[in-house]
Amino acid sequence: MEPLARILVLGSLNMDLAVTVPRLPRLGETVVGERLGRYPGGKGANQAVAAARLGGRVAMVGRVGADDFGPELVQNLTANGVDASGVLPDSTAATGAALIFVGPDGQNMIAVAPGANGRLDTADVERAVDRLRPGDMLVMQLETPMTVIRPAAAAARHAGARVVLNAAPAQRLDPELLDQIDALVVNEREAELLVVTDRLAGALDHEAAAVALRAMGPRIAVVTLGPAGSIFCDETGVHSVKPYPVTAIDATGAGDAFVGALAVGLANGLPTEAAMQLANAAGAAATTSLGAQVALPHLKDVHRLFGLDLSFSVQ
C-alpha cells in the first residue's frame, strides 16, 4: 500500500493536574479529593500521541513555556514517537496547565490556563504549513487562538492537505472556516452550541445535529456521544456507529483518542465508517485508565480489548 500520509497536529500542550474526587463539586462547594496526579496533556498533544500510538506518522507544532513543564512535555512527545521539533519554548509565558476533577464514574470537570498555547501566531502557522504536503492531514483544536486556526486551515487546503478540526472547547465558528474543514468533530454539547438557534431549540436530535453541522460546510460532520457511540454525516447520509462498552475510570482523554484515531483511519484510506469504528474503540479504551496521554491506547490495545479487525496495515 502507499505510505501513510503524515498527520500534523497544530495545537496545545498542557500539564494536567488531576485529582480524583468522590463526586464532582457543586457551585461554591469544596470536595475533599483522594489523590493528585500529574500527567502530560493538552488536546493537541493528546491527539498527536493518540495518532502516533495507533501507527500514524505524526509531527506537532506548538509552544511551551520556559519552565520545568515544557521540556517534560516535549520529551514525552518524542518518547511516544511524535516529531516534536516543531514545538518551541516561549520565554514570555508559562506552559499551559489544566486542573481536572475526576469523579467515580470517570466523568470530569476541567479548567485550563492556556499559557504559551495562547501565544501561537502567524509564524507558527507558517512553520506548520511548511511541513504539509499534498495528501497530508492537519489536525487542530480550539485551545489555541482562532487567529491561528483560520489561516492554518486555509493554507493547509491550499497545500493539498486535508483538515480535521476538533471544535473543543466549544465556541461558535465562522462559515469561512467551516468551509475549509474535511472532518469536524464535536461532542453533544459542542454540537448544540454550533447548531441550536431559537428556531431549532428543543427540536434537534443527534441525527439532525449531524445534518445541520455538515450543511455548514465540513465534508464529514461527527458528533461523539460518549458511551452511546457516535454519529456522522457525509455525502451518503447520516450513520450511527456502535459503542464499545467498557468500565470507565477516567474519560479525560477519550475525545482526543477518538480524534487521533479518526485521523489515522482517514489517513490510511479507510472508509469513513471504518475510521469511525477505530475512533470509537480508541475513545472507549482511553477511559479504562486514569490520566489523558498515559491512558491513550496502542493499536494492540484496541485489538486486545475489542478484537477490532482493521483492514489496513500500519507502516
Catalytic residue (choose from 130, 256, 301, 309): 256
Instruction: Report d(CA 254, CA 284) in Å as an integer.
Output: 7
CA angle 308, 9, 273 (to 5 degrees): 30
Buried b / exposed e across 237-265, counting CB within 10 Å, b at 16+? ebebbebbebebbbbbbbbbbbbbbbbbb
Instruction: Report d(CA 162, CA 164) in Å as an integer.
Output: 7
**301 counts as catalytic:** no
Name, in order, each residue with C-beta under 8 angstroms of 34's C-beta and a sequence gap of 6 or more.
19, 20, 21, 22
Instruction: Report d(CA 166, CA 180) in Å as an integer.
Output: 13
Are 21 and 103 a contacting pair, CB within 8 Å?
yes
Nine cell digits for residue 43: 488536546
Please tell me the number of Cα atoms within 13 Å of 275 on its side-chain side.
20
Cis link prior to 169 (omega < 30° from 0)?
A: yes
Cell 463539586, residue located: 25
Instruction: Report d(CA 8, CA 108) in Å as an integer.
Output: 28
Please tell me the number of Cα atoms within 13 Å of 208 on its side-chain side.
10
Strands 220-224 and 230-234: antiparallel
> DSSP alpha helices (H): ranges in the chain?
43-53, 69-79, 122-129, 146-158, 175-178, 188-195, 206-215, 254-267, 272-286, 299-306
State the greatest distance between any 2 C-alpha atoms of the chain, in Å, as a whole number: 57
Q: Active-site residue numbers?
A: 256
